A and B are shown apart, each in its own frame.
Chain A
Amino acid sequence: MVLSNKTKAVLLGPLNKNNPIIVQVLGICSALAVTSKLEPSLVMAVAVTLVTAFGNVIISLLRKTIPNRIRIIVQLVVVAALVTIVSEVLKAYVYDVNKQLSVFVGLIVTNCILMGRLEAFALGNGPWPSFLDGIGNGLGYGWILVVVGFFRELLGSGTLLGHQVIPQFMYDAGYVNNGLMMLAPMALILVAVIIWVHRSRNRELYEQTN
Chain B
Amino acid sequence: MNREKSGYTMIYAAVMVIIVALGLSFTHQALNERQTANVNIDKMQQILRSLNIDATSAEAQQKYNELVKNAYLINSDGVKEEGTEGITPDDPAFTTDPGDENAKGLPVYEANIDGSVKYIIPMQGTGLWGPIWGYLAVEADGSTIYGAEFGHQGETPGLGAEIVMLSFREQFIGKEIIKEGQFRSVAVVKPGQSVSDRDYVDGISGGTITSKGVDAMLRSSIGEYERFLMNLNAAGEGQ
Which residues of A does B touch, CB under 8 Å? 36, 65-70, 73-74, 77-78, 81, 84-85, 88-89, 91-93, 95-96, 99, 102-103, 156, 179, 182-183
| Pair A182/B16 contact, Cβ less than 8 Å | no
Nearest Cβ on chain B to A54's Cβ, whole angstroms: 12
Nearest Cβ on chain B to A44's Cβ, whole angstroms: 15
| Pair B4/A67 contact, Cβ less than 8 Å | yes
| Pair B23/A67 contact, Cβ less than 8 Å | no
| Pair A73/B38 contact, Cβ less than 8 Å | no
B27 interfacial by beta-carbon distance below 8 Å: yes
Residues of B within 8 A of A102 (CB): 153-154
With A77-B20, A81-B23, A182-B157 in contact, is A70–B12 under 8 Å at CB? yes
Q: Which of A68, A84, A92, A103 contacts B35 (CB under 8 A)?
A: A92
**Residues 1-54 of B at the A interface (beta carbon under 8 Å):** 3-4, 8-9, 12-13, 16-17, 20, 23-24, 27-28, 31, 34-35, 38-39, 41-42
| B interface size (C-beta, 8 A) | 26
Q: Which 9 A-B pairs have the closest CB atoms?
A: A95-B38, A182-B158, A92-B34, A92-B31, A67-B9, A81-B20, A91-B35, A182-B157, A92-B35
- Cα–Cα distance between A65 and B4 once the two chains are bound (Å): 10
| Pair A88/B27 contact, Cβ less than 8 Å | yes
| Pair B12/A67 contact, Cβ less than 8 Å | yes
Residues of A within 8 A of B112 (CB): none
By CB atoms of chain B within 10 A, which of A85, A92, A182 has the most? A92
Nearest Cβ on chain A to B51's Cβ, whole angstroms: 20
B194 interfacial by beta-carbon distance below 8 Å: no
- Cα–Cα distance between A103 and B4 once the two chains are bound (Å): 37
- Cα–Cα distance between A193 and B158 once the two chains are bound (Å): 22
Q: Supply 9 further A-B pairs (C-beta < 8 A) apart from A88-B28, A92-B31, A183-B156.
A: A67-B4, A67-B8, A68-B4, A70-B9, A73-B13, A85-B23, A88-B31, A92-B34, A95-B38
Nearest Cβ on chain B to A81's Cβ, whole angstroms: 5
Residues of A within 8 A of B182 (CB): none
Nearest Cβ on chain B to A31's Cβ, whole angstroms: 15
Nearest Cβ on chain A to B222's Cβ, whole angstroms: 25
Q: 6 A-B pairs, CB-CB below 8 angstroms?
A: A67-B4, A67-B9, A81-B23, A84-B27, A92-B31, A95-B57
Residues of B within 8 A of A179 (CB): 158
Nearest Cβ on chain A to B131's Cβ, whole angstroms: 12
| Pair A68/B3 contact, Cβ less than 8 Å | yes
Nearest Cβ on chain B to A189's Cβ, whole angstroms: 15
Q: Which of A65, A85, A92, A95 contacts B3 (CB under 8 A)?
A: A65
Q: Which of A70, A78, A88, A93 contacts B13 (CB under 8 A)?
A: A70
| Pair A74/B27 contact, Cβ less than 8 Å | no
Residues of B within 8 A of A78 (CB): 20
- Cα–Cα distance between A103 and B153 once the two chains are bound (Å): 10
